[in-house]
Structure 1
């Protein structure tokens, strides 16, 4: 299991709640902040351990009183109000928060965040990201899910099902790292395995693969089996 960390989710938006749900499932320490008490009360019951706090995060003193600088990561998801998002980010910077991830509304919003000093890889525009994933999946007719892409290469998850590679090492299965793909990690029985060419593949292993888009389907066929449906 991942090391337990503390996360502040600012904004009970769909994006923020989705992030919180995943972190909650991983048993992380989470606080969700939103100015809308009705919205927080509506969704609070969906979480096993996340704490919901009514807070105006454009108020720097209120953030400070809630110990915002003590969190390992603060995720700002105030996409519906660019002004509130920017003021909140400025408050976080003033209070010394180092790890800030922001859900931006559009490229204009992103440009402002970059000017404030937020790193580009910490700025997420979901519509743009989703569009890239759908375009890549459609362009290369990829049968599996595309998790992320940089244009030529993508991350995808493939479950080991083909009997021909079960209990064989990665090398024996012909899946050793090369210039076209790499098995980054294996998720097995709730644990993470960092593989090498001598790691044996087990049935139902979930392989996280970084590969060229034009060979992903070949890998899916080899790992999952040609006759299995999505």
Structure 2
């Protein structure tokens, strides 16, 4: 059955990424991007971690460098990347300086890992376009899975809004979108329906929902939680 992974699979494949910091988080990011077919450069100041990345082939390239030195970043070609992920969240000074270096050099999208709210605020001040809290996000994702098992997939648009893939509940069975009026009743919109092999988009108000089919819904996290699933 097709899922909302198409949202990520449809992104252009010619993007280039650099991941600075090859700890657990950085390695996971490298591995995922590399498996998706993207060009990924991994870097770390620790030669052992760089060697591991090369041996295990989790990135297209991996080199040792000190990311607090702008010249080292420039020579490695990191300033030419489309996206740079600063994954050294446990070393605050290095994380902040590195984020400042790559953003001042003109990198379009800089994502930085933070270990605390204060750390995150500083990262935003020095230019990070997006700040992530992996441990917190993993905990929230687990809680959501445990309390909302009908959510098959979730694509977070930001901290407050998501697109989710959910089974059509019994309460919606054999009713049309017009009859349900989900926008008025729940503050959400149905983007597509899946009948198993393909998605049906551009839904009309007369579209009948059947229990067990999969619907793709967009809305605030608060409103999504109100769905009778």
- Same-fold call, TM cutoff 0.5: yes
Length, aligned pairs only: 207
Map of 1:228 onto structure 2: none
Is 1:118–2:118 an aligned residue pair? no
After the TM superposition, which residues 208-219 of structure 1 pair with which residues of structure 2 at under 5 Å, given as runs?
208-211=216-219, 212-216=223-227, 218-219=228-229
* 1:60-105: CA deviation from partner (whole Å, max 9, x where unpaired): 1010111222111111000121111111112112322231110111
How far apart, CA to CA, are the structure 2 residues paired with 1:189 and 1:101? 35
Q: 1:82 to 1:48 in 2, by over 3 A?
A: closer
**Distance 1:150-1:42 versus aligned 2 partners, 3 A rule:** closer
Aligned counterpart in structure 2 of residue 95 of structure 1, from 97, 105, 119:
105
2:12 is aligned to 3
Query: Alignment partner of 1:56: what SS?
Result: coil
Query: 1:133, 1:58 → 2: CA distance?
Result: 33
Question: How does the TM-score come out when normalised to structure 2?
Answer: 0.70
The equivalent residue for 1:36 is: 46
Residue pairs, 1:18-57, within 5 angstroms: 18-47=28-57, 50-57=60-67
Q: What SS does structure 1 have at the residue aligned with 2:225?
A: helix
- How far does residue 26 in structure 1 lie from its aligned partner after superposition? 1.7
Residue equivalent to 1:178: 183
Structure 1 unaligned segments of length 5 or more: list them: 220-230
Instruction: Give deviations 1:143-179, integer Å, cap 9, x for gaps.
Output: 145744756x65433478x9x99xx9x959x888624
CA distance in 2, matches of 1:38, 1:23: 21
C-alpha RMSD of matched pairs (Å): 3.9
- Inter-partner Cα distance in structure 2 for 1:32 and 1:157: 33
CA contact (8 A) 1:9 1:30 kept: yes
Deviation at 1:45, TM superposition (A): 4.1
